[in-house]
């Protein structure tokens, strides 16, 4: 067996979360080994957020052009996928090459190792024949992979996951989308706007099932207006492929056919590959259980999707800030410095220098993760932005709930906007505490309007203060004022 090489920290998986942690710890002067088996940057820049939002930007341009009729004359639109595919290839992903990202990391002083890593006992990480002994800690940022349901026949077919959908150079004539969550709806609308005949099949009784039912309704209506067929309450039972196309059979005799099948039914962490048993951690969990400083167990932290705290890039980045602060605090304590893990405040030092997220970048106590005001945006048109609890979640927790809703089309800005103005603002308040605990903002700028609502939930701004605020006229966010008036 190879002699272990001693370093300060090993980061396994350099996706959004891992790359951020590894880079910042290296910049703080630690010897950091970052291990990545695929592309540095992870899912977001190569097969997730960035290319999918480029696709959405293009599809929305088509939709806006089509809205010229009746507003500003007439426009003839001839969609062409070639510039979208080219932009994804050349601008977003460097043809799925991570040279720039690797250099970004090594430029910060990190040491890059390409390969698959697994834990090999306390403080040890094995990558092939190489073994690293981490003096101060190991950070697991291994993300998730598509979760493919055990539908009869599916595994033997050339179905797409998000990866093939993002890499596509030539669009199919028709597409079945299995899964009506955020990713499924975003991609379904994009492809439909480029002329693909799209059918969405969802097992739950509505699309975007985790969000407010009103949001599901608006999103489904918008997709239908784009020509997308949506079938909810259909559990897929069998999938076949005859060389030319797919057939999906659902419970109750439903049958759908298309040239391509995209499976977007959620994502799953693969803990069984990580050697967790060698450090006494249960590999049978769905996600890596962590505490509010992202500790898995002594000397091991986790960051990003693998923690199951919300599969979003902004969650991975937020958690990365906490991990960086906590690891540096451990290092400082190991060196005999003051303890910043509780309420003690430290001045100067590496934590402040590295600008931990959640602390506003200033030196101080290691921040604790708090997901009460977790924002999320589904980038359909209209966008569905949401933060905190839905009405149902709040009621299930026994909270004394008040709800206020205002429709965008009947707001001044919505009325002016006219075509494409679908949406609403829905507020969920804790009547006893007099604060918002959740909000949904659907509309042409739903994700942007969400920002003010996220501040309100995050900072627990009293409803009275929110009612006294001045809301610029005629913005979409003025609908918040109307929704506040409607709280009951
Ligand atoms: C189509 C799509 C659209 C999305 N859009 C958005 C969006 O608009 N906004 C948003 O916030 N989020 C979005 N997301 C989610 C976002 O991409 C993820 O939340 C984010 O990538 C999570 O980062 P991560 O670092 O946790 O994991 P990943 O990005 O998954 O990175 C994990 C890395 O670890 C590596 N790895 C795993 N195991 C090992 C091992 N044993 N050894 C070495 N390396 C390993 C993997 O190769 C991978 O590169 C989208 C996702 C998809 C699929």
In angstroms, what is the span from residue 12 Cα to ligand 1's centroid? 13
Residues 237-252 have a mean pLDDT of: 96
Please say whether the beta carbons of 171 and 195 come within 8 A.
yes
For 156-215, write each residue's pLDDT tens digit. 999 999 999 999 999 999 999 999 999 999 999 999 999 999 999 999 999 999 999 999
Residues 473-477 have a mean pLDDT of: 98
What's the pLDDT score for residue 336? 85
CA 316 – CA 15 distance, rounded (Å): 9
- Any residues with CB less than 8 A from the CB of 354 and at least 6 apart, and which? 24, 25, 27, 28, 324, 325, 328
What is the value of pTM for the model shown?
0.95
Tell which residue, 385, 389, 391, has the closest CA to residue 408.
385
CA 58 – CA 54 distance, rounded (Å): 6
CA 257 – CA 241 distance, rounded (Å): 10
Instruction: For a ligand 1 pocket test, name from 11, 15, 188 the mutation site with the most ligand atoms within 8 angstroms of its C-beta.
Output: 15
Residue 448 DSSP SS3: helix
CA 238 – CA 245 distance, rounded (Å): 14
Determine which residue's CA is closest to atom 45 belonging to ligand 1. 13
In angstroms, what is the span from residue 182 Cα to ligand 1's centroid? 15
Determine which residue's CA is closest to atom 3 belonging to ligand 1. 48
Q: Name the burial class of residue 254, with classes exposed (0-12), middle (13-18) and buried (19+) by CB atoms within 10 angstroms of its CB.
A: middle
Determine which residue's CA is closest to atom 8 belonging to ligand 1. 49
For 33-55, write each residue's pLDDT tens digit. 999 999 999 999 999 999 999 99
What's the pLDDT score for residue 344? 36
Closest-lying ligand 1 atom to the alpha carbon of residue 270:
38
For 330-368, write each residue's pLDDT tens digit. 999 998 877 777 643 332 233 333 333 443 334 468 999
Closest-lying ligand 1 atom to the alpha carbon of residue 146:
53
Pocket of ligand 1 (CB under 6 A): 12-13, 15-18, 35-38, 42-44, 47-49, 52-53, 116-117, 141-144, 162, 183, 273-274, 304-306, 311-314, 316, 379
CA 206 – CA 77 distance, rounded (Å): 32
- Any residues with CB less than 8 A from the CB of 416 and at least 6 apart, and which? 474
Hey, which residues does 7 pair with through a beta bridge?
134
CA 426 – CA 403 distance, rounded (Å): 7
For 311-331, write each residue's pLDDT tens digit. 999 999 999 999 999 999 999
Q: What percent of the chain has pLDDT over 90?
A: 92
Helix or strand holding residue 394 (H, E):
helix 391-396
Determine which residue's CA is closest to atom 2 belonging to ligand 1. 48
For 95-147, write each residue's pLDDT tens digit. 999 999 999 999 999 999 999 999 999 999 999 999 999 999 999 999 999 99
Closest-lying ligand 1 atom to the alpha carbon of residue 44:
17
């Amino acid at each position: 067996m190879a002699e272990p090489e001693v370093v300060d920290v090993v980061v396994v998986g350099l996706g959004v979360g891992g790359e951020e942690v590894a880079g910042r710890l290296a910049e703080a002067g630690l010897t950091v080994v970052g291990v990545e088996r695929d592309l540095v940057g992870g899912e977001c820049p190569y097969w997730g957020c960035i290319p999918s939002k480029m696709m959405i930007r293009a599809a929305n341009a088509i939709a806006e052009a089509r809205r010229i009729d009746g507003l500003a004359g007439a426009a003839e639109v001839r969609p062409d996928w070639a510039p979208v595919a080219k932009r994804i290839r050349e601008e977003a992903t460097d043809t799925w090459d991570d040279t720039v990202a690797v250099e970004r990391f090594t430029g910060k002083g990190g040491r890059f190792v390409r390969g698959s890593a697994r834990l090999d006992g306390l403080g040890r990480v094995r990558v092939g024949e190489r073994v690293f002994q981490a003096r101060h800690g190991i950070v697991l940022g291994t993300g998730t992979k598509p979760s493919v349901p055990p539908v009869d026949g599916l595994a033997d077919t050339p179905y797409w996951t998000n990866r093939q959908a993002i890499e596509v150079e030539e669009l199919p004539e028709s597409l079945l989308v299995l899964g009506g969550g955020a990713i499924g709806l975003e991609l379904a609308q994009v492809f439909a706007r480029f002329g693909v005949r799209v059918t969405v099949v969802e097992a739950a009784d509505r699309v975007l099932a985790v969000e407010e039912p009103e949001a599901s309704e608006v999103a489904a209506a918008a997709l239908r207006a784009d020509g997308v067929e949506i079938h909810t309450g259909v559990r897929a039972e069998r999938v076949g492929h005859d060389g030319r196309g797919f057939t999906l059979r659902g419970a109750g005799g439903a049958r759908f056919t298309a040239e391509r099948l995209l499976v977007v039914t959620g994502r799953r962490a693969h803990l069984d590959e990580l050697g967790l048993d060698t450090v006494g951690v249960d590999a049978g969990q769905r996600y890596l259980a962590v505490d509010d400083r992202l500790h898995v167990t002594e000397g091991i932290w986790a960051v990003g999707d693998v923690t199951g705290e919300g599969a979003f890039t902004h969650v991975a980045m937020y958690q990365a800030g906490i991990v960086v602060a906590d690891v540096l605090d451990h290092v400082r304590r190991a060196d005999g410095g003051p303890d910043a893990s509780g309420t003690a405040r430290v001045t100067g030092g590496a934590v402040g220098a590295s600008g931990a997220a959640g602390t506003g970048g200033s030196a101080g106590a290691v921040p604790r993760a708090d997901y009460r005001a977790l924002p999320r945006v589904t980038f359909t048109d209209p966008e569905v932005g949401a933060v905190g609890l839905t009405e149902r979640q709040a009621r299930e927790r026994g909270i004394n709930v008040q709800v206020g809703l205002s429709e965008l089309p009947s707001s001044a800005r919505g009325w002016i906007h006219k075509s494409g103005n679908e949406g609403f603002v829905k507020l969920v308040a804790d009547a006893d505490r007099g604060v918002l605990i959740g909000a949904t903002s659907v509309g042409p700028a739903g994700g942007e309007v969400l920002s003010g609502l996220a501040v309100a939930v995050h900072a627990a701004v009293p409803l009275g203060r929110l009612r006294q605020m001045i809301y610029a006229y005629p913005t979409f966010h003025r609908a918040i004022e109307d929704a506040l008036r409607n709280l009951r």
